[in-house]
C-alpha cells in the first residue's frame, strides 16, 4: 500500500503483534478513502485468532463453539472500530476485555434455561473468576461471604446467584445420569423424582407456630431466634443480652412451654 506505514516482516506474516501502526494509518485516511475499508478488513483478519482464542475459554458451558466464535468476532469488530491509538494503549489490551465482554453478555442474555434477573446474571458471570482467585489466595474453596466481599456485593445477591446457576442449563428428565461406576443410567433422573419429602410434615407445625412466634414479646422472640436459628449457646445468648446463662435458660423454658400449650389448644 503506497503512502502508508511500512510493513515489518512480522506484518507480512499476518500476525497481530505491533498492529498499532495500522490503526494510525487507518485514522489518517479520509472516511471516503477506498483504502480505508481494505485496511480495516486487514486488521480484522489479522486479529481473528484473538477472537477464536477467547471463544475457546468459554467452551464447555453448553454453547456451540462455532457460535461462540461468531460472538467473539462481533466483539473484535467492535474493538477495531472503537480503538483509538492516540490513547497510547495497545490494541490487544483494549480488544481482549471488549471481546470477553461481548461473549459474557451473550451468556447473560441468551443462555439461561429459566428467567433470571439481569443483576444475578451479571454476578453469576463474576462468580467463576472470583472463586478461582480466592481459592488460590486462601488455599481452600471460599465461603459465600468471602465471595461477596471480593465482588463488593451483598451476601444475599451472591447466595441468590449461586442458587440461580442451577437454572443456567436445564437437564432433560429423559436423559441419562452418570452413576458412581461411570456408566450411564437412562432412567436415573426420572427414578430420583417422586419421593415423599420427609420434612413436609413440618410445614403444618411451622404454620401453626408462626403466628404464635410473631405475638411474643421482642426479647423472648429474639432469644428463640438466636437459639434455634442462629445456633447460639445459652452462654453466647447471655453475653449478647447482658444477662446470666441461668436467666436465658429460664426464659427459654418458659417461652417454649407457653408456645407448646398455645399450639395444642389451637
Whole-angstrom distance, CA of residue 98 vs CA of residue 39:
21
Whole-angstrom distance, CA of residue 118 vs CA of residue 155:
17
Compute the 3-state secondary structure of the chain and give helix, strand, coil in percent, each to the nearest 5: 65, 0, 30
Q: pTM of the full predicted structure?
A: 0.41
Q: Contacts by 217-226 with C-beta closer than 8 Å and gap 24+?
A: 219/251, 220/251, 220/255, 223/248, 223/251, 223/252, 223/255, 224/252, 224/255
**Residue in this structure with the C-alpha cell 446463662, named with its chain if needed:** 245
pLDDT at position 47 is 92
pLDDT at position 173 is 46
Domain(s) labelled CATH 1.10.10.10 in the chain stretch across: 201-265
Whole-angstrom distance, CA of residue 116 vs CA of residue 102:
19
CB of 46 closer than 8 Å to CB of 16: yes
Which residues, given as ranges, of the chain have pLDDT below 50? 1-13, 113-114, 170, 173, 176-189
Whole-angstrom distance, CA of residue 257 vs CA of residue 251:
10
Query: DSSP string of 104-123?
Result: HHHHHHH--SS---HHHHHH
CATH class entry, domain 118-191: mainly alpha
pLDDT at position 65 is 86
Strand partners, 208: none
pLDDT at position 194 is 52
Whole-angstrom distance, CA of residue 235 vs CA of residue 243:
9
Whole-angstrom distance, CA of residue 36 vs CA of residue 82:
15
End-to-end C-alpha distance for the chain, whole angstroms:
92
Give the tens place of pLDDT for each residue, 76-109: 999 998 888 877 778 888 888 889 888 887 776 6
Whole-angstrom distance, CA of residue 71 vs CA of residue 63:
11
Whole-angstrom distance, CA of residue 69 vs CA of residue 53:
9
- Give the fold, CATH level 3, of 201-265: Arc Repressor Mutant, subunit A (1.10.10)
pLDDT at position 166 is 53
- Give the fold, CATH level 3, of 9-110: 1.20.120
Q: What is the dihedral of CA 70, 75, 80, 86, to 10 degrees?
A: -160
**What residues have CB less than 8 Å from 199, skipping those under 6 apart?**
none
Integer Rg of the chain from CA: 30
Q: How many helices (H) and strands (E) does the chain have?
A: 13, 2
Give the tens place of pLDDT for each residue, 107-139: 766 655 445 566 766 776 777 778 878 887 887
Amino acid at each position: 500500500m503506497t503512502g502508508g506505514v511500512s510493513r515489518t516482516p512480522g506484518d507480512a506474516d499476518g500476525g497481530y503483534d505491533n498492529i498499532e501502526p495500522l490503526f494510525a494509518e487507518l485514522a489518517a485516511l479520509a472516511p471516503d478513502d477506498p483504502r480505508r475499508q481494505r485496511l480495516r478488513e486487514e486488521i480484522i483478519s489479522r486479529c481473528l485468532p484473538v477472537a477464536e482464542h477467547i471463544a475457546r475459554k468459554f467452551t464447555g458451558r453448553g454453547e456451540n463453539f462455532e457460535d461462540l466464535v461468531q460472538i467473539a468476532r462481533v466483539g473484535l469488530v467492535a474493538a477495531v472500530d472503537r480503538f483509538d491509538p492516540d490513547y497510547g494503549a495497545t490494541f490487544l489490551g483494549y480488544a481482549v476485555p471488549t471481546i470477553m465482554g461481548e461473549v459474557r453478555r451473550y451468556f447473560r442474555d441468551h443462555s439461561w434455561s429459566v428467567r433470571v434477573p439481569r443483576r444475578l446474571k451479571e454476578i453469576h458471570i463474576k462468580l467463576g473468576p472470583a472463586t478461582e482467585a480466592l481459592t488460590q489466595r486462601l488455599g481452600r474453596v471460599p465461603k459465600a461471604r468471602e465471595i461477596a466481599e471480593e465482588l463488593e456485593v451483598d451476601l444475599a445477591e451472591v447466595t441468590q446467584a449461586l442458587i440461580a446457576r442451577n437454572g443456567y442449563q436445564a437437564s432433560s428428565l429423559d436423559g441419562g445420569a452418570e452413576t458412581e461406576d461411570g456408566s450411564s443410567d437412562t432412567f436415573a433422573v426420572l427414578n430420583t423424582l417422586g419421593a415423599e419429602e420427609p420434612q413436609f410434615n413440618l410445614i403444618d407445625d411451622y404454620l401453626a407456630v408462626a403466628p404464635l412466634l410473631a405475638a411474643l414479646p421482642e426479647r423472648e422472640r429474639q432469644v428463640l431466634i438466636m437459639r434455634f436459628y442462629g445456633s447460639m449457646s445459652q452462654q453466647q445468648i447471655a453475653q449478647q443480652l447482658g444477662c446470666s446463662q441461668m436467666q436465658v435458660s429460664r426464659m427459654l423454658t418458659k417461652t417454649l412451654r407457653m408456645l407448646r400449650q398455645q399450639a395444642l389448644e389451637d
